[in-house]
Structure 1
Amino acid sequence: MAVRNYTIGMAGHIDHGKTSLTRALTGIDTDRLKEEKERNISIELGFAPLKIDEELHASIIDVPGHERFIRQMIAGVAGIDLVILVIAADEGVMPQTKEHVEILSFLGIEKGIIAISKIDRVDEEMIELVKEDIRDNLKGTVFEKSPIVFVDSLSMKGIDKLKQLIKEQLKHQETRDARGPFRLPIDQVFTIQGQGTVVRGTIYEGTVTKGDTLQVLPKGIPVKVRQIQVHHEQVEEARAGQRAALNLGGISKHEIVRGDVLVSSSHFLVTDTIDIAVRFVNDLSAPIKQRVPVKLHIGTTEVMGKIVFFDRNELLQEEKEIVCQIRLDHPIVCKRGDRFILRRPTPMETIGGGWIIDPKGRKYRFGEETVKMLLAKKEGTPVERITSILKEKALLSFHDLLKYSSLDEEELKTLLEGEQKETIFQLPSGEYALIENLETIKRLTGEKLAQYHEQYPMRLGFNKAELTHLLLDLYPKRLIEFVIEKLVETGFLKKVEQYIHLSTFTPHFPEKWKRRMESALTSIENDEIEVQPFDHYVKSAGIPDSYKEDFKHFLLQSNLAVLLAENLVVSMKAIEKAAALLKRNTGVEFTVKDAKDVLGLTRKYLIPLLELFDALKLTKRVEDKRIWL
């Protein structure tokens, strides 16, 4: 059964026992890791693995300080599936507890467990008071109906119950999407002597495999994955929801910074203007004025920008989610739906959070029309939502569309039937894809083949499996293969065995070397059966050695020549001439001696030639004679 990977966040006030609880659950002291694992390619300091059972594996984020809490919780947006809110029995809910809960709400975290720690320090009466305090302070938050567990990390009281609660909470939790393009926001960059650059982070989506070529955005630097580790163990691949350390080739430590994003596809946008839906804290210390500088925390990125309102010039109190824009000082990598936190740079405080409506915002006019447009973009019509989902997921079943769109079954059926001729296509498998994606695959296939034909004009075509692999970063294999087969059916492409080529393409000599190759072919034809080794003709004609194999295969595939013996290539004209001469001068059958008398060849050429006649079905050997067919 496939392993499901999750990330658990430890939230709570300083000194309420988050590190001790992490140690009790995992056996790992995350503070100790800071010293001991500094030089290893390992999961980020403060992370510890928790194997719940054979199916459920988790990483626990233990974040001791407020500032690190904000960065790591945002960095874990793609990985934090469950939060354990740690509240000490001897202190109860503290200011930082409330702030952490507010941040979790902004980040859209939905599952939580409340762990009342240090219970051996207090009596039953105090525990009841703490429970009442928690329920009062957490009313209206994600933790309002969360289960409560009483623990003591030193005596291990309640630890088994907490593990069971974790299992129950995660049992029905969806795992992150490992099918789409790979994305990993980088937490940390360092070097290891003899191994080079290493980056660490939580995989937001997709899968990475050893040997993959990726890009570091926003700079667009290509890199190669030399090595992968998940919780100190070398692995061949890592998937969405896992913490991973990647050893990268082709880049130095100084070219990467925390906040850069490692991706497998150009699917991800680099942008400096984002349209957002944001909710602000209830007790702002001062008004947020139009174009005031704010710090945006998204992924592992912290970037300054200016907030732009379209329906007000300042905000002091607003309970509802509003739509606005942030214009950033530096570009970031993001997509629709990504969560963020906004903080005021001075005094440093959290002011709100929300999600990205459109990662590629533009400059808009101040006024009601822009607000309406942003609200429409935020909500989206059912058709727009389905289109957006299929743009991201590429190929989905009806069941998956139902799940992602939040439409009811009849509404979705009606929508798909109405849109099938315009925007949506149903494959024979029953899955759905956008017609524009089919067209994009056609265009990309045409472009890849045109490039291939230009680079290798003598080859019959591109191996279908390799061509499909080139597009796997963008689209599912089933969709690519379906489009290629359709393009063959419609005549846009031609398929010969496992090779694909444009129907307008015919293998030919490269223009630059055409005369030399024609000269080499003429020399082969002139030497008839008694040819020199093939290398001789290549060198004599001045053909680069890099073209030798393609030249040979072209002659053989186009039936201009045949392989007589190893490295002996004979023109088909010479074979036909020798066969005609031999047939005219022999009867229904002939011997090797007869052939030697007619053709005047030595055994070096004669025996392979006669065996070639057999292979070409010109003759058939019967004992020591051959019969013409």
Structure 2
Amino acid sequence: QEGVPSQRTALNLGGIAMEDLRRGNIICRSNFFTPTDDLIAVAKLLGGRKKVKNNTHIELLTGTDSITGKLILLNENDTLQGETLVRIRFDETNYFYPGQPFVLANPGGYRIIGGGRIVVPHFNPRVHRKGLKSVSPEIEIKTREDFIALNIAVNSWMLRERIHSFIPASKRASEKILTDIEQAGKIISRNDFVIWNSWYTESKNAVRRAVTSLLGPNIKEISDRSGVPMEICSILLKEIQKEDVLLEKDGRFFTKDSVTEDTLTTSKKKIMEELKRMAGEGIELDRVTDDIKKKEIRDLVKLGFLISLDGNIIYHKQVYDDMTKRVLALFSTREKITVPEAKDAVGLSRKFILPLLNRIENDGLIRRLGDFRVKV
């Protein structure tokens, strides 16, 4: 059962003496408030105020509390006649949550000059300035969805549990909000994280560049080079592995250009040895029942260590190169060759010789002329 605003409620507060309770105390979930001395808010001046100067000393009144600080304009031309994003830096640490309303007053509280709501309860210029600049001109701060979206945008990524903790609503309600934001295309959900869409794309590209610019980097080296936190790096690397030719061995990542037989995993080396022993017999992928082995074979094909004739028949590259040389050697004594002649030269059955000739043709070394093959 959920309560409603102003409802009288009995609380069982274990370990808290009655005399310790004061007017203005707040009951909240764990980590609801954010300790901070620097934040982003949306503010508006009262009608009689024409403008406010940058770095104006203010007193912020919220609930029964007040705290002094400076109001910093994000744009020197801002007048705060309408709701405008501003930065407020306090003289000491206090506690806030997104959407928390406040009143702006002159220091001492003798004159009210405006009001607003907290948007991003903790602002670190070095970390958050880029994210804030990229979204603040285009985002409205009207609904609870807007507050959450801007927090994710400024932070670039957040843990779902952190968002659940600072929203003054149930977990189910906050999940509904996150779903709506994701369906609007603003965020991407990955495991326990929500990631701002544009930052996700930029970070994925940065991780790719980091991997290609280093030789066998580990995840920390990739994180340091790309500027993407390790938690997100781990997620992005798994996705890149599915899309690109990227292998992991002993915690280090290798691109196609940097992979040698020596850097292959033990399981991949075993597959290479097996295919080398099988020579012209090769291996038919649709007969491989082990899904992990099948994936590793496909990886080795992408890396160029194995050759796929037709998507199913697989050879070791050295075996394929040797058979190709034997087929091409036939042209030293004739201008065109038949399928049986090629079959005898490499010792393959008709089932395998046709895919082999087709693959050699795809490589641009021969072409078909009726029932014959001629050298290109």
TM-score (norm 2): 0.46
Structure with a larger share of its residues in helix: 2
Q: TM-score normalised to the size of structure 1? A: 0.30
Decide which structure has greater strand share. Answer: 1
